[in-house]
């Protein structure tokens, strides 16, 4: 499902116009991004937790040349689904 299809489904489900749904999705993404940039943790009950994690520096080897190189630490966004969300996926497997 792409962004356009998602916004269309959201508009149908919430009985709002496509423009309103699009503005809502864009606003949500902007706010999530802003909060994550400030290292805030966003907990959406029944859905999951968005957070920022720090990856440690590590040594990697180029398989072609065998050269070892140090990869610096970096900050990456992360999502951890809630137990409720995991349970919904378990139901669809059965």
Q: How far apart are CA 25 and CA 20, in angstroms?
A: 9
pLDDT for 38 beyond 80 = yes
* 45-81 tens-digit pLDDT: 999 999 999 999 999 999 999 999 999 999 999 999 9
The answer, as to whether pTM is greater than 0.85, is no
Residue listed under structure tokens 């998602």: 6
Mean model confidence pLDDT for the chain: 92
pLDDT for 91 beyond 90 = no
pLDDT for 92 beyond 80 = no
Which 8-state DSSP code applies to residue 66?
-
| pLDDT confidence of residue 28 | 94
Q: Would you list the domain boundaries of the chain?
A: 1-38
């Amino acid at each position: 499902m792409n962004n356009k299809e998602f916004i269309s489904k959201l508009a149908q489900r919430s009985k709002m116009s496509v423009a309103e749904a699009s503005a809502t999705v864009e606003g949500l993404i902007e706010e999530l991004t802003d909060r994550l940039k400030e290292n805030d943790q966003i907990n959406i009950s029944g859905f999951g937790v968005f957070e920022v994690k720090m990856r440690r520096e590590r040594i990697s080897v180029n398989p072609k040349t065998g050269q070892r190189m140090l990869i610096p630490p970096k900050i990456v966004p992360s999502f951890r689904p809630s137990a409720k969300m995991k349970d919904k996926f378990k139901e669809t497997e059965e």
